[in-house]
Amino acid sequence: MERRTITILSVFVFIVLLFSPNPLLAAEKPILLKVPTTFAAALPGLGSTTTWVAQRIGIASKGSLKMKIYEPGKLVAPFEILDAVSTGKVNAGYAISGYWEGKLPGASIFSTIPFGPEIGEFLAWMYYGNGLKLYQKMYDNGGFNVHVIPCGIISPETGGWFKKEINSVDDIKGLKIRYYGFGGKVLQKLGASVSLLPGGEIFPALEKNAIDATEFSMPAIDTKLGFYKIAKLNYFPGWHQQATLFELLINKNTWNSMSKSQQMLMEIICKAATIDAYAYTESLQAKVMEDNVKKHGVQNKYFSKEILAAFKKTWFEVADELSATSPMFKEAWTDLSAFRKDYATWVNYAFLPRGLDK
């Protein structure tokens, strides 16, 4: 989000490391991370982030750390990355925690939460609250032999691409839709038939009418996937994903074999990548939205207050249900809720109301 302050200290540290001689790095054991991803490299802020990291880690480490990036499905299927990294089939992977809901119910909380937090607040909780500690704890307690590093973030996504107008909550009933994470659980509770498809499978599903609607990401990303060709109504806001955090998973044996300086460098570059992905994707959206309207006949729509209120009410019902069945989610949700309550003291005073900052 434009108005949230994000530290850039990591960028300065990265620059110092990049251009300063470091004989210790040169002497370290070389490590090659083979990284299957869930997102195509052509997708800005999603797949492009892994390329950004790979290009810089080799230079900054003087060759002691290298990454080879594999497109979705080339080495490991997207939804199999967690298991592949944990078992050592591959030593790293790039994904998003909500893809593991089937194995770790409530895992989406470490990627995005309906109705916020937005980027500044989310990163504050992740790095300076208990977010990252609880994130790693989820994998440890789940029996997964992985070390997690937040590595990339984007701000609000669209609320979805639809073939028909959504004028009331009743229009959700019976809808066949691809929707991510907790947002999907909300729509399912409201009567939709929800599926979670990898990015490359969404357009064919729309084309064959296997689904009636979809969400995936931001306009600049969705447009590359061609959703506008079939679904002309692009709804906002992205109530279900106001900020979306991505993860670099490294097999723990590989992580523990790294030197302290290699580990620190990996973390620093992922922090820098997080800033870059945020800034880069923010710079792209307005023109794409305008072009979608002018060139592709897309209508940008906004969910009504009544629909958003129903989504929010249903989300808290979903959160209560998850808290009753997933101790991991309950712990993280309770901690995040307390953090947000404190954070509200700051945000309610500090930032201009929307519209007045223009």
* pLDDT tens-digit map of 145-189: 999 999 999 999 999 999 999 999 999 999 999 999 999 999 999
Between CA 266 and CA 25 the distance in angstroms is 12
User: CATH 3.40.190.10 region(s) of the chain?
Assistant: 160-240+284-324
Between CA 231 and CA 222 the distance in angstroms is 11
Given this model, what pLDDT does residue 354 score?
79
Given this model, what pLDDT does residue 355 score?
74
4 token code pair: 């949230």
Given this model, what pLDDT does residue 10 score?
46
Letter for the amino acid at 152? G
128 token code pair: 């300076």
Report helix, strand or coil for 280. Answer: helix
**Model pTM score:** 0.90
Given this model, what pLDDT does residue 102 score?
94
Given this model, what pLDDT does residue 223 score?
97
The per-residue b/e assignment along 141-171, b for 16 or more CB within 10 angstroms, e otherwise, is eeebbbbbbbbbbbbbbbbbbbeeebeebeb
Given this model, what pLDDT does residue 28 score?
83
Dihedral class, residue 63 (left if φ above 0, else alpha if ψ from -120 to 50, else beta): left
How many CB atoms neighbour CB 98 within 10 A?
22
Given this model, what pLDDT does residue 352 score?
87
The two beta strands, 233-236 and 160-162, are antiparallel
161 sits in which H/E element: strand 160-162
pLDDT by 10s per residue, the chain, length 358? 444 444 443 444 444 444 455 544 446 899 999 999 999 999 999 999 999 999 999 999 999 999 999 999 999 999 999 999 999 999 999 999 999 999 999 999 999 999 999 999 999 999 999 999 999 999 999 999 999 999 999 999 999 999 999 999 999 999 999 999 999 999 999 999 999 999 999 999 999 999 999 999 999 999 999 999 999 999 999 999 999 999 999 999 999 999 999 999 999 999 999 999 999 999 999 999 999 999 999 999 999 999 999 999 999 999 999 999 999 999 999 999 999 999 999 999 998 887 776 6
User: CATH 3.40.190.170 region(s) of the chain?
Assistant: 9-155+242-282
Given this model, what pLDDT does residue 20 score?
52
Residues 160-240+284-324: name the CATH superfamily.
Periplasmic binding protein-like II (3.40.190.10)
Report helix, strand or coil for 107. Answer: helix
Given this model, what pLDDT does residue 298 score?
98
Q: What is the dihedral of CA 10, 12, 14, 15, to 10 degrees?
A: 170
Given this model, what pLDDT does residue 353 score?
84
According to the CATH classification, is domain 9-155+242-282 in 3.40.190.170?
A: yes
With a CB cutoff of 8 Å and minimum separation 6, the contacts of 168 are: 304, 306, 307
**H helical segments located in the chain:** 9-19, 23-27, 47-60, 81-87, 119-128, 131-141, 181-189, 199-207, 219-224, 252-257, 260-282, 285-296, 305-325, 327-350
